[in-house]
Structure 1
Amino acid sequence: MESKRQQKFAGVIQKDLAEIFQREGMNLLPNIMVTITKVRVTPDLAIARVFLSFFNSGNNTLALNTIKAHSNEIRYKLGSRIKDQVRIVPHLEFFIDDTSEYVERMDKLFDKISKEPRQAEEPEQED
């Protein structure tokens, strides 16, 4: 369970990273929209785990690797935005948020199940 401090700090990071990706994301990933779905911060505020979702990306793994390759540059830009609010700028770890894909896959499974004919219940036999 995250403390209020962690949640507040994660919110600040999410907001500032969203602005960074909105303004400068086209340089890193042309024609791909990056959404920051969630940020989790360790209790000591030293590491921020950033979960990303990509829209209009054919290969999410390649897009994530591109972001990871530029993580130092992104951290520097984040640091210049939050330098007055924190003692240290957290190390950024990026992950793919596959929640939407999971929900989509589950919806397809439920649709498939609901379309299958139901098996008639057999009456119980008495001895």
Structure 2
Amino acid sequence: MESKRQQKFAGVIQQDLAAIFQREGINYLPNTLITITKVRVTPDLAIARIFLSFFNNTNSQLALQTIKSHSSEIRYKLGARIKDQVRVIPQLEFFVDDTGEYVERMDKIFEKISKEDRQPDTE
């Protein structure tokens, strides 16, 4: 369970990272829209786990590796934006948010179930 402080800090990070990716995401991944779906912060606010979703990109693992390779640069830009609000700039850990893929997989399963012949109820 995250505290109010963690949630508030995660929201600040999410907004500022979204602005960074909106302006400079083209430099990291051309023709790809990077969306920050969720940010989780440790209780000591030292580590921020950022979940990303990539649109218009076929290989999300490669995109994630590209973002990870630029993580120090992204952290520096984040620090420049939030330096007056925090004491320590958190380390950034990036992950792929596979919620969209999970939803698609579940939709296919439900569709398959609904197409199967229904057995009449026997009582």
TM-score norm. by structure 1 comes to 0.95
Matched, 1:61 2:61: yes
Equivalent-residue separation in structure 2 for 1:72 and 1:49 (angstroms): 14
**Which runs of 4 or more aligned residues in structure 1 lie more than 4 Å from their structure 2 counterparts after TM superposition?**
none
Q: CA separation in 2, counterparts of 1:28 and 1:121?
A: 57
Matches within 5 A, 1:1-127: 1-122=1-122
Residues matched between the structures, number: 123
Where do 5+ consecutive residues of structure 1 fail to align?
Answer: none
Aligned letter for 1:40?
R
TM-score (norm 2): 0.98
Task: Classify the secondary structure of the residue corresponding to 1:93.
Answer: strand
What secondary structure does 2:93 align onto?
strand
Structure-2 separation of matches of 1:122 and 1:8: 55
Which 5+ residue runs of structure 2 have no aligned equivalent? none
Deviation at 1:122, TM superposition (A): 4.5
Give the distance between the partners of 1:29 and 1:4, measured in 2 at CA.
Answer: 33
CA distance in 1, matches of 2:120, 2:20: 58
> In structure 2, what is the Cα distance between the partners aligned to 1:33 and 1:12?
20
Amino acid at match of 1:106: M
SS in 1 for 2:39: strand
* CA drift at 1:65: 0.2
Corresponding residue SS for 1:37: strand
Bigger Rg, structure 1 or 2: 1
Q: Percent identity?
A: 77
Q: Distance in 2 between matches of 1:122 and 1:92?
A: 57
